[in-house]
């Protein structure tokens, strides 16, 4: 997964970026209407970001289906991602921090929705592998409602080694699986927590699941076979927050 600049679109996402991580915004393109937006003008002036009029080439780059609302920005993704050391340091400020590990999720809408829920329910960091995983994209940013700028996001190499490292630091690993031996209602979340979310189609890989301390399942009505990755993660994060926020 290459680290390169990306486009962000929509006023709300840009406002979140300028408020939380202005250093990641390289350049902003505005329609004539949005050039008169006083809130944006104030934030852009404060951040010192370069502003240009909206160009057809830029609109073409973000795609015809992008609802940009007259706001497109160039984001430096290299500055968007955090280091593992910084994420662990920030997490350690909480008594029982929660880290979410995305293990080869391919749908950017799922990734964005999980990031949004992670911020809403008090998670401290998002980990995602560098390969075979949807990175942070314009769609992820939009789906997260700009929450990608409110939580450290870390690119990792070997997923299983990362889990081992975090377990050595005192984290208990919870793997989300359909038939997990522990029901969500029985989970205590009374120690540093690592929530592992597997691929949308095949779930958590076998070797990774073997490293999970707690295979976690969500009891459901038999009429429903399963939940998608983002919904299931949101439910688990809510239960974590009930125990720790």
pLDDT(208) > 90: yes
pLDDT (tens digit, 9 = 90+) per residue, 41-88?
Answer: 999 999 999 999 887 667 656 665 666 788 999 999 889 999 999 999
Residues of the chain with CATH 3.30.1330.30: 5-79
Residues of the chain with CATH 3.40.1280.10: 84-244
Range with the poorest average pLDDT among 64-73, 151-160, 196-205, 216-225:
64-73
Q: Which of 159, 147, 10 is nearest to 70 (CA)?
A: 10
Q: Tokens 């490292």 label which residue?
A: 165
Query: Quick check: 73 and 141 in contact, CB under 8 A?
Result: no
Annotate 50-117 with DSSP letters as a single string.
Answer: EEEE--HHHHHHH-TT---TTEEEEEEHHHHSB-HHHHHHHHTTSSS-EEEEE-S---HHHHHHHHHH
Average pLDDT score, the chain: 92
Percent of the chain clearing pLDDT 70 (strictly above):
93
Query: Quick check: 22 and 151 in contact, CB under 8 A?
Result: no
pLDDT (tens digit, 9 = 90+) per residue, 218-244?
Answer: 999 999 988 999 999 999 999 999 999
CATH, domain 84-244, list 3.40.1280.10, 3.40.50.300, 3.10.180.10, 3.40.109.10: 3.40.1280.10
**103 or 245: which leads in pLDDT:** 103
Does CATH place domain 5-79 in 3.30.1330.30? Answer: yes
pLDDT(112) > 70: yes
């Amino acid at each position: 997964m290459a680290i390169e600049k990306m486009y962000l679109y929509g006023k709300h996402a840009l406002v979140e970026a300028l408020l939380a991580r202005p250093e990641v915004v390289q350049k902003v393109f505005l329609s004539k209407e949005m050039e008169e937006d006083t809130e944006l003008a104030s934030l852009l002036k404060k951040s010192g970001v370069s502003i240009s009029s909206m160009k057809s080439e830029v609109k073409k780059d973000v795609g015809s289906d992008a609802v940009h609302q007259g706001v497109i920005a160039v984001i430096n993704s290299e500055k968007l991602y955090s280091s593992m050391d910084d994420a662990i340091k920030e997490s350690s400020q909480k008594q029982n921090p929660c880290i979410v590990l995305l293990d080869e999720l391919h749908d950017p809408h799922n990734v964005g929705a999980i990031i949004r829920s992670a911020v809403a329910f008090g998670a401290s960091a998002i980990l995602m592998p560098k390969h075979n995983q949807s990175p942070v994209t314009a769609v992820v940013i939009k789906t997260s409602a700009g929450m990608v700028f409110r939580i450290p996001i870390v690119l990792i190499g070997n997923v299983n080694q990362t889990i081992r490292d975090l377990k050595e630091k005192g984290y208990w690993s919870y793997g989300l699986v359909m038939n997990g031996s522990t029901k969500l209602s029985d989970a205590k979340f009374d120690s540093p927590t690592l929530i592992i979310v597997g691929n949308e189609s095949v779930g958590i890989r076998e070797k990774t699941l073997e490293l999970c301390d707690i295979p976690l399942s969500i009891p459901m009505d038999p009429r429903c076979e399963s939940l998608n990755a983002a919904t299931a993660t949101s439910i688990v994060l809510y239960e974590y927050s009930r125990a720790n926020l």
